[in-house]
């Protein structure tokens, strides 16, 4: 294994606290969706028999990959990396190693309080119906721990365990949102072909979302995408991201996006795109967003833009 900082593995041998727990460490959501990104919020209900928790360690199971922990004020983050048992596809790149344990260190969670510790990653290569256990350990001072590390055998009752590891159940995707997005049926408007439209699921706290589409002009006359609207957002703007010196900047296109005769234009991440502002209900993977595209000459057309998985990061906007 590799670690971002030097660690003392002997700390794992700390004596377990003798006090009985009245609540277990659990996740706020009991299920995760297969082949999707998940935000795992671990709830810790108490400390070690009256002592404050100063360190939290969470082991990541095989099948929860590309993990990124959420920093907590007053706590130091330590990410321990190791080899996966198999290779996972990360947007066309084969990945065989990554974070296998997350540690929040140096904080203080009093016994009479509770808190959540958050890590985000992808559920990959795990069949629906399977359970993923995330063994967790609370370290309290130098001589006490609470270890939530027991995993029930297949078919056994997890409620019978004294210190069960936090577990989530993998559920099936309701429809293959990604496949639906890839198979977006082209829409024709005069000499224009609208293809490959999609947006992405929005992460917690994300205020805006990007929209993407390819427009092909098979006619002999130039046209212009002048506006976009959707009942799902207070406004939809056309934006462009471009390098200015060494800085990537975004600007609003006041006149629209030109679509030259006999050519095509692609609205894609990192370039031209639609920006959904003040989204009323966050976009969820598998849903679709109603959108109206208005062109200078071809007129207007309504399309249903499918929502794909959020991916490694949501759409950023400054």
Task: Report yes or no on 131 lying in a domain.
Answer: yes
Range of the domain at 207: 177-308
Tell me the pLDDT of the chain averaged across its residues: 84
- Where residue 287 sits, what CATH number does that domain have? 2.60.40.1890
pLDDT tens track for 32-83 = 999 899 999 999 988 888 899 999 999 999 999 999 999 999 999 999 999 9
Q: Write out the two tokens for 36.
A: 């999707």
Q: Where are the beta strands (DSSP E) in 245-287?
A: 247-252, 257-259, 264-267, 273-279
User: Are 87 and 152 found together in one domain?
Assistant: yes
> Residue 201, SS3?
coil
Last residue of a domain, one of 171, 195, 228: 171
The number of helix segments (H) and strand segments (E) in the chain equals 1, 24
Query: How confident is the model at residue 119, as a pLDDT?
Result: 95
Q: In a 3-state reduction of DSSP, which class is residue 204?
A: coil
**Residue 305, Cβ neighbours under 10 Å: how many?**
23
63 and 105 in a single domain? The answer is yes
- pLDDT value at 314 more than 50: no
* d(C-alpha 49, C-alpha 192), whole Å: 69
Q: Indicate whether 226 and 277 sit together in one domain.
A: yes
Total residue count of the chain as it appears in this document: 318
CATH number at residue 110: 2.60.40.2230
Domain-ending residue, one of 171, 199, 216 = 171
**Single pTM value for the model:** 0.52
Residue with tokens 């006619």: 219
Question: Using 50, 70 and 90 to split pLDDT, how confident is the model at 18?
Answer: very low
- Tell me, yes or no, whether 13 and 151 share the same domain: yes
Q: Is residue 316 part of a domain?
A: no
18, two tokens: 């003798």
Please indicate, yes or no, whether residues 22 and 149 belong to a single structural domain of this protein. Answer: yes
Same domain flag for 126 and 229: no
Please classify residue 153 by burial: count the beta carbons closer than 10 Å to its beta carbon, then call 0-12 exposed, 13-18 middle and 19+ buried.
exposed
Count of domains for the chain:
2
Residue 50: predicted pLDDT: 87
| pLDDT surpasses 50 at 21 | no
User: Do 63 and 182 belong together in one domain?
Assistant: no
């Amino acid at each position: 294994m590799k670690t971002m900082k030097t660690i003392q593995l002997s700390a794992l041998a700390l004596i377990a606290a003798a006090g009985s727990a009245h609540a277990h460490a659990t996740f706020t959501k009991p299920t995760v969706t297969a082949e999707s990104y998940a935000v795992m919020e671990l709830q810790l209900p108490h400390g070690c028999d009256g002592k404050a928790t100063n360190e939290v360690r969470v082991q990541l199971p095989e099948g929860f990959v590309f993990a990124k922990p959420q920093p907590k004020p007053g706590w130091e983050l330590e990410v321990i990396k190791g080899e996966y048992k198999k290779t996972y596809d990360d947007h066309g790149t084969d990945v065989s190693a990554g974070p296998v344990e997350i540690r929040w260190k140096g904080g203080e969670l009093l016994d009479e309080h509770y808190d959540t510790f958050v890590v985000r990653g992808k559920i990959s290569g795990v069949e629906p119906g399977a359970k993923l256990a995330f063994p967790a350990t609370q370290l309290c001072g130098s001589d006490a721990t609470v270890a939530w590390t027991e995993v029930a055998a297949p078919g056994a009752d997890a409620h019978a365990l004294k210190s069960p590891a936090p577990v989530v159940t993998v559920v099936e995707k309701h429809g293959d949102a990604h496949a639906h997005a890839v198979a977006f049926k082209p829409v024709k408007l005069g000499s224009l072909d609208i293809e490959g439209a999609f947006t992405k699921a929005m992460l917690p706290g994300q205020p805006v979302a990007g929209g993407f589409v390819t427009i092909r002009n098979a006619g002999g006359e130039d046209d212009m995408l002048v506006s976009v609207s959707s009942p799902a957002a207070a406004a939809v703007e056309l934006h462009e991201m471009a390098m200015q010196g060494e800085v990537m900047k975004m600007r609003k296109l006041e006149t629209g996006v030109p679509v030259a005769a006999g050519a095509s234009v692609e609205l894609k991440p990192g370039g031209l795109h639609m920006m959904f502002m003040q989204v009323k209900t966050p976009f969820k993977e598998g849903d679709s967003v109603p959108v109206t595209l208005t062109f200078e000459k071809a007129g207007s057309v309504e399309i249903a833009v499918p929502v794909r998985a959020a991916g490694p990061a949501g759409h950023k906007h400054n």
